[in-house]
Amino acid sequence: MVMADTAAAIRLVRPEDQAPVDFRDAVRARLEQDAMSHARAAREIGISAPAFTQWLNGNYPSEHRALTAKIDRWLRVRVERQLEIDAAPEVPGFRMTPTAKRIVATLKYAQTFGDMVEVYGLPGTSKTFTARHYRDENPNVWIATIVPDCAATQPALDEIAETVGAGVGLGLGTRKLARNICAKIEKTRGLLIVDEAQHLTITALEEIRSLHDRTGIGLALMGSIVLHSRLTAGSRAEHMAQLFSRIGVRLSIRQPSAGDIGAILDAWKVRGAEERAYLGEIGVKAGALRVMTKAIRLAFATADDGHPTLEDFQAAWRQIGAYE
């Protein structure tokens, strides 16, 4: 919750007040509450870190109306955002849905037996969310997320090296990066999860496969249907044979199950039959499980009494731009 003295300072202070002590106290309280350094706050405000520190200590050497006005605006925005967060409904945590159980079982197999697996399917089916849960519940599990600019071998290895703590940013070549990664993960009986792996080039995929071969740890390639299409399309080609043949388990997630949707609705305490039926219909659409959850959150946040009706869910679904 927002501290009372912070809110009071927000209401009272104006730039012409020349930064009274209570305003500085409010800024200090905000920094402490958000665990924010002076440097980070200064970047958000748009001033230098030394100037911010001097102002905070009452030692700013020159006229500071303009600087105080910037800090005033920053603090107001920070407090308003916190108020919005506090007013929003609490989002339920991880739920072990039927699909999540299948994903966890696949990841556990890969880590236990040091095998290579593939988890692929439509977006919004909780693949990443479940992988993070598995990482948080098990030792020596790393998730490297591949964005499009990490598609090539060097940036992909950079991402993995940073994820496992093997050193990065030293201008290392691919061979040295691979050695460092292997030294870090071998003999750990760990699991490397490569998320959004559909972005990787074939050469990068082969390099990551070699990390698995050299260390014996589990490797999970996780991504969209595009990932599986690329792997299977080249399964008979000579340059794909080693990669394709090493995948021990392939888990396909085509759409959320009724059990997945039911678990989410139970977590949100959606009880009405009409509401559950409506959300159940949209939840099975391609990629809709993630968007359905966002619509539920919006409906709870905007409902007059915090208890959304069918109309609230329908309005939320339309508002977020989802398809019918």
pLDDT (tens digit per residue) in 259-315: 989 988 998 889 899 999 999 888 877 566 778 888 888 888 888 777 899 999 999
Q: What is the pLDDT of residues 141-159, one digit of tens each?
A: 999 999 999 999 999 999 9
Q: What is the pLDDT of residue 12?
A: 41
Q: What is the pTM of this model?
A: 0.70
- Residue 15 pLDDT greater than 80, yes or no: no
Burial class (CB in 10 A: 0-12, 13-18, 19+), 124: buried
Distances (CA, A) of 7 to 23, 25, 77: 10, 11, 12
- Rounded CA separation 226/204 (Å): 16
Tokens of 257: 């199950």
Domain limits, the chain: 4-87, 98-253, 258-319
Q: What is the pLDDT of residues 160-185, one digit of tens each?
A: 999 999 876 556 788 889 999 999 99
Q: What is the pLDDT of residues 187-221, one digit of tens each?
A: 999 999 999 999 999 899 999 999 999 999 999 99
- Rounded CA separation 124/322 (Å): 13
98-253: in CATH 3.40.50.300: yes
- Residue 256 pLDDT greater than 60, yes or no: yes
